[in-house]
Amino acid sequence: MLISVLLPTRGRKEPLLNSIKSLYDLADKPDQIELLLGMDNDDLEHIEYVQTEIIPNYPNVSIYQFKRMGYKKLNMYVNTLAGLSNGHWIFVWNDDALMQTQGWDTIIHKYDVHPMPLLRTIVAGMLTHPFSIFPIIKRKWYEIVGAVSLYTHVDRFVYNVNSNIDWYNKKVWVVDIPVHVIHDRYDLTGNNKDEIFETSTKSYNEGNPENPTSDDYEPSFNTVLVATNKIIQYMNDELGAKRPLLPLKSSSPIEKVITQSHGIH
């Protein structure tokens, strides 16, 4: 089954090449990996680099150009790329991420029969991070919710939705898999301190339910509950589950997931 890797990128030539190389070189079936790049249409030098230096060596890489939206609309890039992809699995990736596990694609396919998992990779230096830095979901998840994420921080949104399916038994729906990744980000490794990193730092805002720009502002975290209910309704209708839908007002234990803050993603 095809795996679709979604990768918004801007201005990072060598890091992007190294990231793509790590994915394809360590895949058991690289021909079953499609990689969709979301690139700003004003990032001309970077686009030319991909066309001349990357695609000839990795023909399953495609470029999709966007009018620049910026980091605050990162999820819009991801959602659009998801709609253009063809894979059974959707894997959200970064241009400063480096795959470390041989056969990572085979490991993902071990969960083909799981109805609706979020697969969570192991990221060096972020072992206690509660979310899923590079989330892996089934296409059916995307089709039911209608998006990969309804706010900026994709990893946080997907994790919160799947945690809320069953908070007390959430490891059934949030599955840690033995796929290791290095997030080659300045605050973690000292590398890639550039405009992209600085912009993401300035744009980061969560943990404040009173701030309209925060993921925890009520309309934002209610989108998580709505998305969770779509998944639960599917499970009830198609899989024979008998789970109650969640109320759209935050309450314990849901609030424990929605209102915590854990730093830049």
Output the pLDDT for position 41. 97
- Which of 103-112, 150-159, 212-221 reaches the highest mean pLDDT? 103-112
Cis peptide, bond prior to residue 56, ω within 30 of zero: no
Which is higher by pLDDT, 74 or 254?
A: 74
The CB density around residue 119, as the number of other CB atoms within 10 Å, is: 23
Q: Is the pLDDT of residue 48 over 60?
A: yes
pTM for this prediction: 0.86
Domain boundaries, the chain: 3-190
Tell me the pLDDT tens digit for each residue of 158-171: 998 998 888 777 78
**Would the pLDDT of 261 be above 50?**
no
Residue 1: pLDDT band with limits 50, 70, 90:
confident
| pLDDT tens-place string over residues 164-208 | 888 777 788 999 999 999 987 655 556 656 666 556 656 555 555
Q: How far is CA 251 from CA 171, 219, 223, 225, 248, in A?
A: 20, 15, 15, 11, 9
Cβ–Cβ < 8 Å for 101, 117: no
What pLDDT does residue 39 have?
97
- Are 74 and 93 within 8 A, CB to CB? no
CATH T-level topology, domain 3-190: Spore Coat Polysaccharide Biosynthesis Protein SpsA; Chain A (3.90.550)
Strands 3-9 and 136-138: unpaired
Helix (H) or strand (E) holding 114, with range, is none
DSSP state of 88: S
Q: What is the DSSP string of 8-61?
A: EE-S-HHHHHHHHHHHHHH-S-GGGEEEEEEEETT-HHHHHHIIIIITTT-TTE
